[in-house]
Amino acid sequence: MSKIVVVTSGKGGVGKTTTSAAFAAGLAKRGFRTVVVDFDVGLRNLDLIMGCERRVVYDFVNVINGDANLNQALIKDKRLDNLCILPASQTRDKDALTQEGVEKVLDELRESFDYVVCDSPAGIERGAMLAAYYCDEAVVVTNPEVSSVRDSDRMLGLLASKTRRAERGEEPIREHLLLTRYSPQRVDKGEMLSVDDVREILAIELLGVIPESQAVLQASNAGVPVVLEESTDAGQAYDDAVARFLGEEREHRFLVEKRGFLGRLFGG
């Protein structure tokens, strides 16, 4: 059965788009027919991170307005042939996405894909709620700092009350916590909240911890979802998270600084 997964956070710049790309690629790598949808109208970052920005012809808003059909707008990933991207438009008009339009497109995507991953814009306003409204599962991306945790908490409250499942009294959305940009050294120094602090406040299942990593920026500059960079720490952490999302048990890694003094001196 097809599932809609929203990647959301409240706070901006915490790693939603990075996560959406990694998750979609990770699911596709495991054989699931996956599409990742950019809901960030006006900013359009996902196609850059997926490395397909030059192949964008039509976008989400074109499909909603009937200027193009879905097949014309979907971009097939070059690396994984069961992965597609539905880019956002560059239009300035945030109201271009309508509730009915979004529902229609998502319903159509459900027919041909196992997973529909929705990359939410920041905030808790209309755009973010549109991305979340129809979801079955939510990956709540949080950085280990007070303001990000607070925003994630708000978003969890909205997921539990302002989504279609909530409004219809259906089974609640499955909520997953993904802690990103985690730096064990900074936690030790007391500059960041620890995994346990964040878990205690948000009180939802921990899907994974993604370390703060150079590999993320390098991958996004190269237009490769970081999960496909299998030798990197962030790539492995995302792979673990996708595995857990699918029900596999995996030990949490990257929670402590492993390298010793010399390793830190010489390590890259």
Partner 1 sequence: MASTVGSVEQAAAFELKGRMATLTVLRLLTPDNDTLNRQLEAKVAEAPSMLRGLPVVLELSAVAGASADQLALWLETVRGQGLVPVGISGAGEDVATAARERGIGVFPELFGGERQSPKPGSSRRSAEPEVLPGRVIDQPVRSGQQVYARGGDLVVLASVSPGAEVLADGNIHVYGTLRGRALAGVQGNREARIFCRSLRAELVSIAGQYQLSEHLGGDGAEGPVQVYLEDEALCIVPLEA
Ligand X SMILES: Nc1ncnc2c1ncn2[C@@H]1O[C@H](COP(=O)(O)OP(=O)(O)OP(=O)(O)O)[C@@H](O)[C@H]1O
Considering the complex, state which of residue 68 and residue 160 has its C-beta at the smaller distance from partner 1. Answer: 160
Q: Classify the C-alpha dihedral 57-60-61-63 as positive or negative.
A: positive
Neighbours of 104 (CB within 10 A): 14
Q: Kindly state whether residue 142 participates in binding ligand X, applying the rule CB under 6 A.
A: no
Return d(Cα 84, Cα 32) in angstroms, integer. Answer: 11
Return d(Cα 155, Cα 140) in angstroms, integer. Answer: 8
Q: Kindly state whether residue 8 participates in binding Mg ion, applying the rule CB under 5 A.
A: no
Among the residue ranges 16-24, 54-62, 76-84, 99-107, the one whose residues contact ligand X (CB under 6 A): 16-24
Q: Kindly state whether residue 122 participates in binding ligand X, applying the rule CB under 6 A.
A: yes
For residue 204 the two structure tokens come to 């939802």
Please identify the residue of the shown chain whose CB is closest to the bound Mg ion.
17
Considering the complex, state which of residue 13 and residue 172 has its C-beta at the smaller distance from partner 1. Answer: 172
Task: Out of 8, 34, 62, 220, name the contact with ligand X by CB under 6 A.
Answer: 220
Among the residue ranges 5-13, 99-107, 171-179, 195-203, the one whose residues contact ligand X (CB under 6 A): 5-13
Write out the binding residues for Mg ion, residues 16-55 only, by CB under 5 A: 16-17
Return d(Cα 35, Cα 254) in angstroms, integer. Answer: 28
Task: Out of 212, 229, 239, 240, name the contact with ligand X by CB under 6 A.
Answer: 212
96 and 64 in contact (C-beta within 8 Å)? yes
Considering the complex, state which of residue 56 and residue 237 has its C-beta at the smaller distance from ligand X. Answer: 237
Task: Out of 4, 10, 15, 74, name the contact with ligand X by CB under 6 A.
Answer: 15
Return d(Cα 209, Cα 230) in angstroms, integer. Answer: 16
Q: Kindly state whether residue 220 participates in binding Mg ion, applying the rule CB under 5 A.
A: no
Considering the complex, what minimum distance in angstroms separates the CB of residue 153 from partner 1? 4
CA 241 centroid distance within chain: 11
Q: What is the dihedral of CA 148, 128, 113, 49, to 10 degrees?
A: -60
Considering the complex, state which of residue 160 and residue 215 has its C-beta at the smaller distance from partner 1. Answer: 160
Sheet order of strands, 115-119 included = 75-76, 83-86, 34-38, 115-119, 3-8, 137-142, 174-182, 205-211
Among the residue ranges 52-60, 83-91, 105-113, 214-222, the one whose residues contact ligand X (CB under 6 A): 214-222
Using CB under 6 A, list all residues that contact ligand X. 9, 12-18, 40, 45, 122, 180-181, 210, 212-213, 216-217, 220, 234
